């Protein structure tokens, strides 16, 4: 399924290029969501092979995104993986930039179990994304 994403991203980026030919377009990649090398909080319960598989799938998705950006041309790619290293979900809370599994979350649309913010950047993670994007966008 991940291998099927590249042509879809190419089509979207191509459309953006046609509609906004002078825009600075930055495609933002994904970080590894769970640490493969640091202490993982016991509450996370991820075996090493699962954490490694998740990282491998992220790397494959990022490769697909980079290929699409390069194929379309004039699209910059923000690879955030290095920025998030040692700040993945399940690292100690004081350095975690990606939420682990959230028990629940609520919005005007209702309550979600598990929470919809699970495995998504927290405030510190969004700040890290921003720094990488600004660096790439120039």
pLDDT at residue 84 greater than cutoff 70: yes
Of 44-48, 118-122, 134-138, minimum mean pLDDT range: 44-48
- Phi, psi at residue 47, to the nearest 5°? -70, 160
More confident residue, 59 or 106: 59
Query: How many angstroms separate the CA atoms of 74 and 32, rounded?
Result: 26
Q: 105-107 and 110-112 as β-strands: parallel, antiparallel, unpaired?
A: antiparallel
The 10s digit of each residue's pLDDT in 85-129 is 989 888 776 788 988 766 666 666 666 566 566 778 989 999 999
Kindly tell me the number of DSSP H helices and DSSP E strands found in the chain.
4, 4
Section 22-43 average pLDDT: 83
Query: How many angstroms separate the CA atoms of 90 and 8, rounded?
Result: 32
* Cis peptide preceding 58, ω within 30 of 0: no
E strands, the chain, in order: 25-28, 75-78, 105-107, 110-112
The 10s digit of each residue's pLDDT in 117-127 is 677 898 999 99
Of 65-74, 106-115, 126-135, minimum mean pLDDT range: 106-115
Helix (H) or strand (E) holding 61: helix 48-72
**Structure pTM?**
0.83
Tell me the domains of the chain and their CATH numbers: 2-137 (3.40.50.1110)
């Amino acid at each position: 399924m991940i291998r099927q994403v590249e042509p879809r991203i190419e089509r979207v980026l191509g459309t953006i290029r046609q509609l906004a030919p002078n825009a600075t377009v930055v495609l933002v990649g994904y970080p590894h969501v769970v640490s493969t090398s640091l202490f993982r909080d016991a509450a996370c319960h991820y075996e090493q092979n699962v954490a490694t598989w998740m990282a491998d799938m992220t790397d494959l998705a990022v490769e697909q995104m980079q290929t699409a950006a390069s194929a379309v041309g004039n699209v910059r790619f923000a690879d955030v993986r290095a920025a998030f290293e040692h700040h993945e979900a399940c690292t100690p809370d004081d350095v975690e930039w990606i939420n682990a599994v959230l028990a629940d979350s609520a919005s005007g649309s209702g309550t979600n179990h598990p929470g919809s913010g699970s495995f998504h950047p927290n405030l510190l993670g969004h700040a890290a994304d921003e720094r990488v994007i600004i660096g790439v966008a120039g």
